[in-house]
Structures are given as C-alpha cells and as structure tokens.
Amino acid sequence: MSTLGPAILKALQRVDAERALRDGNPALGQRVHALKLYQQRRFAHGYADLLADPRYGGAARFFLEELYGPRDYRERDAQFVRVVPALVRLFPEEVVRTVVALSELHALSESLDTAMALALAGEDVDAAAYVRAWQSTARAQDRERQIELTLEVGEALDAYTRNPWLRNSLRMMRGPARVAGLSELQHFLEAGFDTFRAMRGAASFLAMIGQRERALKDGLFAADTVACVTAASRSSDGPLGQLP
C-alpha cells in the first residue's frame, strides 16, 4: 500500500478519537450535534444566493449536504477502515488523493467541532455563542486549513469533469466499489462530478466560497465578541452578516 492508504487511516483514527470522547460525554455529543446544525444553517443563510442560482445551486447544495451537514458518517468511516487497501488498489491515484484530502478535512472538522462544543454552555447555539466558541479555540490556522481542504476537494471534483477517462473509470467502478463496500465513496464522487459538471467550470464558485469563508474567519478571530455579533445582526452585506 502506498503512503496514501496510511494517511487515510490516520485521519480516520483521529475521527474515532473524537467520537470516543463524545461517547464518553453525552452532553458534549449533543452540543456537537447542535453546533453542526447551526453551521449548516449558517451556510444555507450565507450562501442563499448561490443555492438559488441556476448555475451554482447544485454544487452549493452538494457542499451543504456533504460537507456542512450533521450527518453521522460512522458507518461509512468503518467501511473505509476495512477497505482502504482495496480503495488504493482499485481507484485511480487522483481519486485516492481526493479521498486523502476528504479524510483530513473530516478529521480536522471533527476536532474543531469538539473544541467549539466544549466552549458552549448548552445546546442553544446563536451568533454570540458561535463567535465565542470559535474564539475560544484560538485555532485560526486550523480554520484556514479547513477552508483550504474544502477548496482542494472542490478543485479535484472540478478537474474530474475535464478528464473523460477518469469519468469513465468512475462509471466502471460502480460494481467493484459495491462489492468492496465502497458504495458511499462512489456516491460522493459521482454526485460531486455530476454537480460540478453541470456548472460548466467551478473556478468562480470556488473563489466565492474561499472569499466568503476567509472573510468570515478573519472577522471571527480578529474582532471582539460584541463587534462580531453586532455585525452578524446586520444584513448580509459584510462577511459576518453570514451568521444568522
């Protein structure tokens, strides 16, 4: 197995460690779930224009459902651990590298969610609590890395649309992927390919995601809580207006 396989396993082990921490503290687990729901609402609010756009709507919904939702990926991750050797052997290297980035994003997001949830007083998450939770982590660099990985996954999916050979390879992988227990990954890749292909070029879409998320990150970590929440209560003209 190449170095890509161990990288995926290492990321999934980090995810398991976060889950074990929450399993041992049900109240923490409930706060993490509430936080994930809030973050999904935040994305839907901040990207309402893209979600409603005929060109970008499909890709925005893909990000909302696959990368920002509260879905429990426990079963999928357990499958991945069992079949990483098959994944590395069966899928093209470009796809495996995307899975590495996706796994790292998954692990980093779970770590940040745990750190933020530890700062919450309860399950009621509003703009003020969200700002305080982010600031309590003091992990601005990790938030930047999270944005970079999100864009990396998006750029990879966009690149697939310009590679007919790779798309045909994905189609041919449906049967072997199902047999190997990789149906979840197959669904993610094909759904991502189809939504990005429908955009006819993702550069503008990904640039908007990067600009908005980085503006929000800078505002969250640079301003004091009062200023952040005041800005968040305004219209969506500014970056912090993305917070509902």
pLDDT class for 224, splitting at 50, 70, 90? low
pLDDT class for 55, splitting at 50, 70, 90? very high
- The Cα–Cα gap between 201 and 193 comes to 11
Q: Are 46 and 242 contacting, i.e. CB atoms less than 8 angstroms apart?
A: yes
pLDDT class for 161, splitting at 50, 70, 90? confident
Taking all residues of the chain, what is their mean pLDDT, rounded to a whole number?
84
pLDDT at position 240 is: 52
pLDDT at position 234 is: 45
Q: Is the dihedral of CA 6, 9, 13, 14 positive or negative?
A: positive
pLDDT over threshold 90, residue 185 = no
pLDDT at position 179 is: 67
pLDDT at position 235 is: 35
Half-sphere exposure of 209 (CA within 13 A, CB side): 30
**What percentage of the chain exceeds 70 in pLDDT?**
85
pLDDT at position 180 is: 64
Q: Are 211 and 163 contacting, i.e. CB atoms less than 8 angstroms apart?
A: no
Q: What is the DSSP string of 134-187?
A: HHHHT-HHHHHHHHHHHHHHHHHHHHHTT-HHHHHHHHHTHHHHHHTT-HHHHH
Most confident of 76-85, 118-127, 137-146: 137-146
What DSSP designation does 242 have? G
SS3 122: coil
Q: ∠98-208-152 over CA atoms, to 5°?
A: 15
Summarised one tens digit per residue, pLDDT across range 60-89 is 998 888 877 677 777 777 767 777 887 788
pLDDT over threshold 60, residue 200 = yes
Long-range contacts of 49-54 (CB under 8 A, 24+ apart): 50/205, 50/208
pLDDT at position 244 is: 59
* Average pLDDT estimate for 4-11: 90
pLDDT at position 236 is: 41
Listed range (139-143, 151-155, 226-230) with the worst mean pLDDT: 226-230
* Average pLDDT estimate for 47-58: 94
* Average pLDDT estimate for 44-52: 93
Comparison of pLDDT for 165 and 132, the residue scoring more: 132
pLDDT over threshold 50, residue 188 = yes
Domain residue spans in the chain? Answer: 4-242
